Amino acid sequence: MKTDKADILALLRNSEDYVSGQQLCDRFGVTRTAVWKVINQLKEEGYRIESISGRGYRLIEGPEDILSQSEIVSRLTTEWAGRKVYYYDVTGSTNNDAKRCGEEGDPHGTVVVADIQNAGKGRRGRGWQTLSGTALAFTILLRPEFAPDKASMITLVMALSVAEAVEEVLEGAEGAVTTIKWPNDIVLNKKKICGMLTEMTMTPEMDEIQYIVVGAGINVNNASLEEFSEEIRKTATSLKIETGRQINRAELLEKILLRFEDNYATFLKTLDLSELKEAYQSHLQGVGGEVRVLDPVGEYVGVSQGIDDKGELIVVKENGEKVQVYAGEVSVRGLYGYV
């Protein structure tokens, strides 16, 4: 669903030389005035575009961080993830929006992105804060053909994809260690930067998946801990707080979707995590260390041995018993704090 604006922006971004007004008109079948209007809109949004008469337009640089329909769409090079994008400046919850897309027939891979969520949902019925200009909150709609019992692994596939993309945008940032806290929190320097919420809707016969939505909320450009509510201040952080870098959220999304498309294809080959386990495990926090498993039927302490092919956490209890911990209602902590 490329808009003219996104098309023009993509062409300018990918050209090293000037692009003439005529080239833009011919390519997109629009008038010179239409091109001129789009260029002006882009300039107003903070894109530095040089126009030289007789040569055309050249994108010098874009804003450091901008989240908009055209910025997102103009960057995408994926095959199916994000080939349809709904961007909102403000929404309630991108998961709820994506579920509506699921009901209304939008295609596999549709992505909903928002700058602000005023009713963001966290796990276990909690809320999720998404403040303007700082976070990346998005949800992808999937229409898989696999059996419902495989669905819980998709969150781990997304967790790996986010961790890999975060590493890419933070490349070269000293001391930035990105890990995954099982099953799907992304942690930077031992504090949480991202949470995920996956929701599945079954067909009316309840035997097949109708659609799954996988939502992720990433603290990207929050400048200080004061921006977080007191409740989460001890355990949360942002990419900017940890590294000083201002990240382009659309670029981060582009990288996540590329990684997700790739990791999802690997998952589909075996319908388990056998081929992704090594990569996931290389990011997994606390393997070989003691963990506290907060199981509603009784808390216990054990040593984490990483995940099995189904994404369950293998924990060896103090009495030597080996347990496979299934994510569901269970939380796992380090012995002395959040990780």
Contact residues toward ligand BTN (CB under 6 A) are 93-95, 117, 120-123, 126, 128, 130, 137, 139, 195-197, 215-217
Closest CB to ligand BTN among 93 and 238?
A: 93
CA distance 26 to 213: 39
Report the relative pairing of strands 290-294 and 85-91 from DSSP bridges: unpaired
Element (H, E) at 291: strand 290-294
Closest CB to ligand BTN among 39 and 141?
A: 141
CA distance 289 to 162: 24
Task: Characterize 54-86 residue by residue with b for buried, 16 or more Cβ atoms within 10 angstroms of its Cβ, and e for exposed.
Answer: eebbbbeebbebbbbbbbbbbbbebeebbbbbb
CA distance 59 to 45: 13
CB of 207 to ligand BTN, least distance (A): 27
CA distance 4 to 6: 5
CA distance 65 to 118: 21
Closest CB to ligand BTN among 6 and 197?
A: 197
CB of 44 to ligand BTN, least distance (A): 28
CB of 95 to ligand BTN, least distance (A): 4
Q: Give the list of residues 6+ apart from residue 236 with CB closer than 8 angstroms, or none.
A: 191, 192, 193, 219, 225, 228
Note whether 222 and 241 are within 8 A (CB).
yes
For 139, other C-beta atoms within 10 Å of its C-beta total 27
Note whether 136 and 252 are within 8 A (CB).
yes
CA distance 50 to 57: 6
For 35, other C-beta atoms within 10 Å of its C-beta total 23
Closest CB to ligand BTN among 38 and 327?
A: 327
Measured from each CB, the residue nearest to ligand BTN is 195
Closest CB to ligand BTN among 216 and 325?
A: 216
Closest CB to ligand BTN among 94 and 221?
A: 94
Closest CB to ligand BTN among 5 and 240?
A: 240
